[in-house]
Amino acid sequence: MDLLNTLVDKGLRREVPSREEALAVLATSDDELLDVVAAAGKVRRQWFGRRVKLNYLVNLKSGLCPEDCSYCSQRLGSKAEILKYTWLKPDEASQAAAAGVAGGAKRVCLVASGRGPTDKDVDRVAKTIDAIKTQNEGVEVCACLGLLSDGQAERLRGAGADAYNHNLNTSEATYGDITTTHTYADRVDTVQKAHAAGLSACSGLIAGMGESDADLVDVVFGLRELDPDSVPVNFLIPFEGTPLAKEWNLTPQRCLRILAMVRFVCPDVEVRIAGGREVHLRSMQPLALHIANSIFLGDYLTSEGQAGKADLDMIADAGFEVEGTDQVTLPEHRAGGGCGSVCSSDEAPAGAAEEVPEARTDLVAVRRRGAGTDLAPNA
């Protein structure tokens, strides 16, 4: 396909595709899917070889969030039967993190529900970061605590945090349909604060919330403008008890197209397959490794992932290798800047409607192990 040849050439040159080209990737047919994966794989291998970075989530504080994000099982008013607990102590969080590091994780992601941290919360997380880094030499720590106030990113950086995650989630045009207690601009501001403080910015999206192809392209181009080092691609887990419980809109093929579009738009950025990987990609997960260069090991915030050993076996079976702590994730040139400016163009015609998949609630398991419980973590 001329489209894919063009996208590969642009990806190898770190040149931004047009919106029309990004939309065309999402509109490709199932017959073209392997060609799309192969093309995105060429770009992935150019900048990241066959390495897969493993990240491990530690949910420091679960549930009871005052925000009303429709996709979230921890949201205000959620009836999802998830684990709910207050802040883990630093030694408890460090113990949970150690399990992930022992399983091969290079980065530990510390997440807490809530609108944003108080200064006391930042102090608490600083102690947790110190405990984790003291016990696990070479590990990266990423904090994800919500909206940041002035000076908090600098304090986290001073405490030893390497990165900060705050996702845009969806396009600016549709953001108000998903969340009303904060704005898209609030999220952009927090990512910019992390950048300015010298933290590696991590910001991504959630696909499968009923958005259009144009919405997906909008949010990915918005992410490119922010220039994060890491872009997690989440696939909605439609938890029972949340407003989006009936939004089973994704197929494995659709997920692969979305990942490929992200790779073409941000070719030299760490693209991470995040929440919903097992639920929506299912047996197609190994193919996704040809596009993305990063995954979460084990469980997620409030849902269970596949066994950590299964993740490691999948990586090896697909011919990839786990990235070590002595290896640098990003290409050398990323230290001097990111993807570059964004080009825009008219939208491409919408593709043919895809078959609506059946709800697979049997694949969604509420997390009952690891942080906040007496049971061993999945790593």
pLDDT at residue 355, as a whole number: 66
Tell me, yes or no, if 339 is annotated catalytic.
no
Q: Is 246 exposed, middle or buried (0-12, 13-18, 19+ CB in 10 A)?
A: exposed
Catalytic annotation, pick one of 19, 44, 51, 65: 65
Catalytic annotation, pick one of 124, 272, 277, 367: 272
Q: Could you report the per-residue pLDDT of 315-351, keeping only the tens digit for each? A: 999 999 999 999 999 999 996 544 433 333 333 334 4
Mean pLDDT of the residues in the chain:
93
Q: Could you report the per-residue pLDDT of 43-94, keeping only the tens digit for each? A: 999 999 999 999 999 999 999 899 999 999 999 888 888 889 999 999 999 9
Tell me, yes or no, if 255 is annotated catalytic.
no
Catalytic annotation, pick one of 14, 19, 109, 254: 109
Residues 272, 348: Cα–Cα separation, whole Å? 26
Work out the pLDDT band at 362, boundaries 50, 70, 90: confident
Mean pLDDT is lowest, of 52-61, 247-256, 314-323, 360-369, for 360-369
Q: Does residue 17 have a pLDDT over 50?
A: yes
Tell me the percentage of the chain whose pLDDT exceeds 70: 94
Tell me the percentage of the chain whose pLDDT exceeds 90: 87
pLDDT at residue 342, as a whole number: 35
pLDDT at residue 339, as a whole number: 44
Catalytic annotation, pick one of 19, 44, 142, 277: 142
DSSP one-letter code for 281: I
Across 184-189, average pLDDT: 98
Across 2-10, average pLDDT: 98
Across 254-283, average pLDDT: 98
Q: Could you report the per-residue pLDDT of 81-135, keeping only the tens digit for each? A: 888 999 999 999 999 999 999 999 999 999 999 999 999 999 999 999 999 999 9
**C-alpha distances in Å from residue 90, one per residue of 95, 125, 128, 132, 214:** 9, 8, 4, 8, 43
What angle, rounded to 10 degrees, do the helices at 213-226 and 252-265 form? 30
pLDDT at residue 360, as a whole number: 83
Catalytic annotation, pick one of 14, 51, 72, 155: 72
Higher pLDDT, 350 or 211: 211
Give the number of other Cβ atoms within 10 Å of residue 322's Cβ. Answer: 18
Q: Does residue 354 have a pLDDT over 70?
A: no
Tell me, yes or no, if 72 is annotated catalytic.
yes
Tell me, yes or no, if 367 is annotated catalytic.
no
Catalytic annotation, pick one of 202, 255, 266, 339: 202
pLDDT at residue 348, as a whole number: 38
Q: Copy the structure tokens of residue 102.
A: 């022992």
Q: What is the DSSP string of 294-350?
A: EEE-S--SSB--S-HHHHHHHHHHTT-EEPPTTS-SS-GGGGG--S-PPP--PPPPP
pLDDT at residue 275, as a whole number: 97
The amino acid sitting at 311 is D
Tell me, yes or no, if 109 is annotated catalytic.
yes
Tell me, yes or no, if 202 is annotated catalytic.
yes
Tell me, yes or no, if 69 is annotated catalytic.
yes
pLDDT at residue 78, as a whole number: 87
The residues pairing with 107 across neighbouring beta strands, listed in sequence order, are 55, 140
pLDDT at residue 107, as a whole number: 98
